[in-house]
Structure 1
């Protein structure tokens, strides 16, 4: 039994590392604590409870997690510190021994964070330096699904439609951290979308670990989910956060092209433009299939924004394989590259691949691809200068410019002289002008 009276008026601080899915989950935890009377601590204000939702996609992510934990403990003396997320699932004992950490919860336990917190809350007074408790189960036993549809302090809602992954790519620890693929029912997700509308939400981003795999738990399919969500009339926009190319079916592309609310915006992980490297990674597609998906999207939705994940310097990526990747990406009609260097992860099959790329070479390869990405993004934006577009504007600090995104994910900027709180979370028709000062957005006029 949760005693919410013990939490009335307590202040909580939150820190999230990693993906949109983590952000969504942290926002939901914050909402649940809020229902118990907990308020969010103001910036610089000491908190009674600290929630740190971690990532472990790279070695650098682990390092940032440790830094965040130390900082939260240092800045919030005596606070009850809870660490959860992927790093917590993979290294629960290590984290639990850190000074000031009270509770470490793995992937299966995250869904019951409020219950664990409530049970341990009164015990904190008996411990001088923290409870140092950790709870996690083996990957095969991660079966719980923690629902999440929340926006935190943002405009968009993030709806968690799936969790876990069955793919086990050679470089990746996420299946170990998140467990096997699982999902709720379409009906339950439709109800969450309807609730978001009731709260004033206009845009929902579908999130998950491998969302195209939706349906393994319920016998449904991702395209069926998309079609049912599209019927929720109050939602003006949906975005699909990331979907594997082999799961991005031609049927789904066709549907999105003519749908009521699914935007012409796709984020598709490629990882490598070399078929030899894709085989080493145990990816489930080749460059021919990937190129087909890009061509089909552009055929059906010429103005679609397409973002692509690409990893550089993975084990086995010979110089000629990287050149294949560069030429392949150069040939694709995409708008953005999310470039990240390969990071050695303990326990992954990639460690058995003999050829190792030096850190220096990884940086050089990353730099080349980042330059290519900038060229592609600027070219995509430039093609839309002088056109009109619908933009969902987002709240800005007083005296600052407002920003938002077009249907096809062009970031726009409304000058502070025209910014108005009444425009927050409103869809307005604008004219797209030239680039702003740092070329990160197009200037707009109402």
Structure 2
């Protein structure tokens, strides 16, 4: 047992990356590695990279430096989206020994020998067209909830996005395998599963990206609702054009699916949506929100929005601002547009100055605070179910209700990973909600 090597992981980016990191970690544990925290001294550090964040290269370099400070003789491997898009750039970072692209990341064990440092970062990446097979993933042990990957890649051609270049064509897991993974997760005493993917509403495309739909997203949701032992299922980000009324109605009556939707808008201007090559206009978005409110008035609705896209005038931005302000939504995730190599938008005219982008971002972040506050206020006095997280934050334990209201109560380790019936009483100074216990559920 003394010969077992230690490996630590650092994940940048989305829930999908977390699910894949967890799967890679389990694979390495099967190969004789022991997983340790990233803060510890390890023989190998694996960094799962992201290409969406504006400072992807800067973040990556900081993480590598951190690893080298912990153990300057450790083997450092980079995987993930940024590793696929700019492998040579990552390989040239001091301390990096191995860079694996989209098709190689799940075969990490095949590329490591004695873990001795390389003089130069070794690159194994593919043409993204070769990423036409599906590898299922889920995360357990990292958080109170598990992230279950059901789909990968994207066939959309949004003009600002590099994800199709980093992850390839849209492809889905087989329904039987998703249900098997969900069942495995439920046996680990995990109360909540979050469905994740690049474009999960596109679920059903065959294993090799063909257009024959074996199952629809609605069928996936219906079958997952029957899995024993799962208390909560949450749908992560889903495109408005792919979120069908039937799915919304099913969630409203479902046993396990919670009333929380995260629906990317990106712009409230139809002109800008067209420039972005989004597959809907703002009227479709309004219809989706209205449908959710009709059948689940208490639902939480989150929105992604991009500011400063090329060609976005003050008028376009105000159109977005007013559209969101008037809509009954719960919070915003605001992204400041940043140019990406090999995207159509990077060559577009009408570049918005950085200071204008920053100002617009600040305005929408302010609107998000206002929206979240209004949503929380609308929930005061109601009875909800909370699932408590595992962290002690300044003497408090936090959790989320089924409709994604963040609540707090004095720290009690016995509450970790338990569900409780509660009454929402008042909003605290930090923005979370105080609560009274009604009953213990699970």
For normalisation by structure 1, the TM-score amounts to 0.93
Question: Structure 2 residue aligned with 1:355, among 347, 350, 354?
Answer: 350
Which consecutive segments of 4 or more residues in structure 1 shift more than 4 A? none
- Check the 8 A contact 1:8/1:36 in 2, yes or no: no
Range with bigger deviation, 135-144 or 190-199: 135-144
Q: Distance in 2 between matches of 1:43 and 1:85?
A: 17
Aligned position for 2:232: 237
Distance 1:42 1:137, change over 3 A: closer
Aligned position for 1:191: 180
Cα offset, 1:399, TM superposition: 7.2
Matching of residue 432 in structure 1 with residue 428 in structure 2: no
Cα offset, 1:133, TM superposition: 1.1
Aligned position for 1:296: 291
Distance 1:358 1:114, change over 3 A: same
Aligned position for 1:422: 414
Cα-to-partner distance string for 1:171-217 (whole Å, 9 max, x where unaligned): 11111001111111001000000011111121100000000111111
1:77-156 alignment to 2 at 5 Å?
77-116=72-111, 120-122=112-114, 124-125=115-116, 129-130=118-119, 132-156=121-145
Cα-to-partner distance string for 1:389-419 (whole Å, 9 max, x where unaligned): 1111111239731111111010110112xx1
Aligned position for 2:153: 164
Matching of residue 402 in structure 1 with residue 405 in structure 2: no
Question: Structure 1 residue aligned with 2:249, among 242, 254, 257?
Answer: 254
Query: Aligned to 1:413, what secondary structure does the other structure show?
Result: strand
Cα offset, 1:131, TM superposition: 5.5
Which consecutive residues of structure 1, in runs of 5 or more, have no partner in the other structure? none
Matching of residue 445 in structure 1 with residue 410 in structure 2: no
- Check the 8 A contact 2:10/2:38 in 1, yes or no: no
Q: Distance in 2 between matches of 1:298 and 1:227?
A: 21
Q: Distance in 2 between matches of 1:226 and 1:177?
A: 27
Cα offset, 1:305, TM superposition: 0.1
Aligned position for 2:206: 217
Query: Aligned to 1:98, what secondary structure does the other structure show?
Result: coil
For normalisation by structure 2, the TM-score amounts to 0.94
- Check the 8 A contact 2:19/2:149 in 1, yes or no: yes
Aligned length: 431
Cα offset, 1:39, TM superposition: 2.6
Cα offset, 1:434, TM superposition: 1.3
Distance 1:378 1:346, change over 3 A: same
Cα-to-partner distance string for 1:71-90 (whole Å, 9 max, x where unaligned): 32333211111100111001
- Check the 8 A contact 2:239/2:264 in 1, yes or no: yes
Cα offset, 1:422, TM superposition: 2.5
- Check the 8 A contact 1:50/1:72 in 2, yes or no: yes
Q: Distance in 1 between matches of 2:100 and 2:380?
A: 48
Which consecutive residues of structure 2, in runs of 5 or more, have no partner in the other structure? 208-212, 438-442
Q: Distance in 1 between matches of 2:250 and 2:375?
A: 24
Range with bigger deviation, 252-261 or 211-220: 211-220
Cα-to-partner distance string for 1:420-443 (whole Å, 9 max, x where unaligned): x2222111111212122311x101
Aligned position for 2:440: none
Cα offset, 1:252, TM superposition: 0.9
Matching of residue 345 in structure 1 with residue 371 in structure 2: no
Q: Distance in 2 between matches of 1:145 and 1:43?
A: 28
Distance 1:62 1:100, change over 3 A: closer
Aligned position for 1:389: 384
Question: Structure 1 residue aligned with 2:70, among 67, 70, 75?
Answer: 75
- Check the 8 A contact 1:99/1:130 in 2, yes or no: no
